[in-house]
Homo-oligomer: A and B are copies of this chain.
């Protein structure tokens, strides 16, 4: 399987875009993200590696990451778009604790299959999905 770096560079090449140092830095920092980062958070990490990179470039590069399929855009409803790598980790859904705001990755193969069935039943060609479960996590329930 191709690496995210390879996929992204391929995408740039195919679209006659330059593989600039800034884009490489943003990609590397993004792939290290173990959370669902906003562009702002990503920018704050990026300038630790290269303080001359502007937030505009981060926003522009993140768009390219999404277009190339390396990043997935998430929307938890808090007014900020968030992003996560699509390739370093398998597909998963999200549980968001409405108390402590913690976000945990979850996955259930049976649900995945039923989503496919549901789509087919309606004649849809399912390309991707997002599922967010809201509630109270086990830690917060104990308190």
Contact = CB atoms under 8 A, between A and B. Distances in A.
8 contacts: A74-B77, A79-B81, A118-B133, A119-B133, A124-B137, A126-B133, A128-B135, A130-B131
A125 B96 CA distance: 11
Contact of A136 (B117, B125, B131): B125
A3 B123 CA distance: 35
A14 interface: no
A52 B131 CA distance: 40
Contact of A133 (B77, B97, B115, B137): B115
Interface of A: 73-77, 79, 81, 95, 97-98, 104, 106, 108, 110-111, 114-115, 117-119, 122-138, 141
The quantity of this chain's copies bound in the complex is 2
A97 B126 CA distance: 9
Nearest to A140: B125
Given A129-B132, A131-B129, A131-B130, A122 B138 contact: yes
Contact of A124 (B75, B95, B114): B95
